[in-house]
Each structure stands twice: as structure tokens, then as C-alpha cells.
Amino acid sequence: MGAKGSNPKIRGVYAVRGAPQRLPNQPVQAPQKDIFSWEMDRQGSVRVGHGFTGDQQSGVLKLKDAQGNWHDVSGLLDREARVLAKPTKNPNRYYILMLPQSQEAIDDPGLRHVYEYDVSSGEESVLFAANTSEVATVLMDFKGEEVVMVRYQDESEQPLIFDPELKEIHAALNEAFPDAWVSLQSTTDDLSRAVFGVNSPLNPGALYLYDAAKRALAAFRHQYPGLNASNLAEVYSVAYSSRDGAEIPAYLTLPRGLTPDTAKSLPFVVFPHGGPHARDFRRFDWMAQMLANAG
């Protein structure tokens, strides 16, 4: 994705090979008014455009149909829409995380659900309904035809895994790292090997290669190789009441060896996260670890 000419806001998509000095003359997707970024599906077709109106007051969302026509569906942004996946079997279909059209449509309208949306007709149906947590990602297979895994924003909510080989790989990783966040980074087409990321308060980030035939794990990259895990502090999930009585979930990082029951009269530092559409996770946080290590 890039811009030709003097206006960096006019961005198209270009196919390049090697390391060219300049963008080709012909884009595979020509720039469009108010579109600043593009997304393609697993087969390389540009199908989603994101941007803002010229006055920066409204978001713009465009989706391409199977005939190559673009549809302005910016009205879906009023429902806090986010495109999670672009199925390739029927290029009219999109999997979109968004709020229900009305409060009566689905119980608990405060959560977004994943809809299968047909851009050619505007029809939609619920694909994955949120009960206690919104869906974070929808992972497609390497052809972009089938959903192989669905992950939730809530870390304690187990992912839905539809591919049996992927389910076996995940089970092996969860057994080896029961208290860590395990994320699929890459796999071979036949799922015989996979690269996973592992992260937890006591594991500051590592990549593991999984060999399905041997059912073997091997670490080959560490994000902080100089850190000694014996110096890292545990992170606890806690909750506290605000002044108006609302219960607020939080994470508490304590100096190593202390628990919420034994920690007394410690200096206290609060890290508020951004918002409103943001949260923290129970994973390695270098600054929280540094302060806890200092007491």
C-alpha cells in the first residue's frame, strides 16, 4: 500500500517483486476518495477500504462484492463494526464484529456479535454470539475458505477450534504452558509444523516450533533472552470497588514472593490503560515488572 505523487493520503495497492526503487505505474487497487488503508483476503484480492471523510468527522468503510463493485457501508460503523475475516468461497460475504441492529435483536445488546454480512444484498445473520466476551479474532484457513479458530477477548475463555490438527497442536501447547497466552503465528499448509508465541508474566515472550509428526516442541527465539525468569513477579487478577460502587477488574503485579494476602504497606503505582475500546492483559509487562523488582 502506498502513494504515488505528492499527496500521502491518496493510497493505492501495488504488486511489487523484489526490492524496487519506486512503485509500479499501475496499481492492483486504485486510490479512492477518503480511503487511507486497504485489506485483502487470503487469495490476494483487495476487498476492504478504511478511511475518514475530508472533515475528519465520520469514518468510511467500503466493501467489494464478487463482481468487483465497491459498496459504501459506512453506516455499519455506527454499530462499532470491525471486519474480522473475508471468506473467499463467496466474495460477497464478510465476517463483521458489530452491535445488533436493535436491543430486541439479541439478549445483552452491550456486546458486539460476529455477523455474516452479504455486501451485495445487505443481509446479515449472527455467526458467533457473545455471551460473556466479544470475539477477538476469526482465523481462516490458508485459502480463506473455512473458519479454523475463534478467539475471545476474555483470556479465560477457551478458543473455538474447528480444525482437528490445529486442536491437537493447541492442546499440546496448553499442556506445556498452562498459565500462558498461546498464539498461533504461522503454520505450514499441511499443518505438519507450526510456530507459536508464548507469553505470560513469568515468560516474557518466546517463539516455539511444533512438529506434529514428532509431537515435539522446540524454543528458537526469546524476546528478552537476558532476563532471568526467577526474578520475575507474579501478576494477580483482582477487583476493587469504585466510588460509585461499580466493580472494576484489574491486574496486580507484586514483588516476587508476595501475594495479595501478604503484601502490606507497599508503594503503589497505577497504570490506567487507554480507552474506551482498550484493555490490559495478564501477560509480561516490562515496566510493571521493573517497578515490582524495585519493591
Closest CA to 107 of 129, 127, 135, 82: 129
pLDDT by residue, tens only, the chain of 295 residues? 988 877 777 899 999 888 778 888 889 999 999 999 999 999 999 999 999 998 889 999 999 999 999 999 999 999 999 999 999 999 999 999 999 987 555 555 588 999 999 999 999 999 998 888 899 999 998 889 999 999 998 877 888 999 888 888 788 888 888 888 888 888 887 778 888 899 999 889 999 998 888 888 888 899 999 888 889 999 999 999 999 999 998 999 999 999 999 999 999 999 988 876 678 888 999 999 999 999 9
Is residue 236 a contact partner of residue 259, using CB atoms and an 8 Å limit?
yes
Which residues contact residue 80 at a Cβ distance below 8 angstroms, ignoring those fewer than 6 apart?
A: 97, 98, 99, 112, 277
Domain ranges in the chain are: 233-293
Q: DSSP assignment, residue 232?
A: P
Confirm whether pTM is higher than 0.75.
Answer: yes
Angle at 126 between CA 274 and CA 112, to 5 degrees: 15
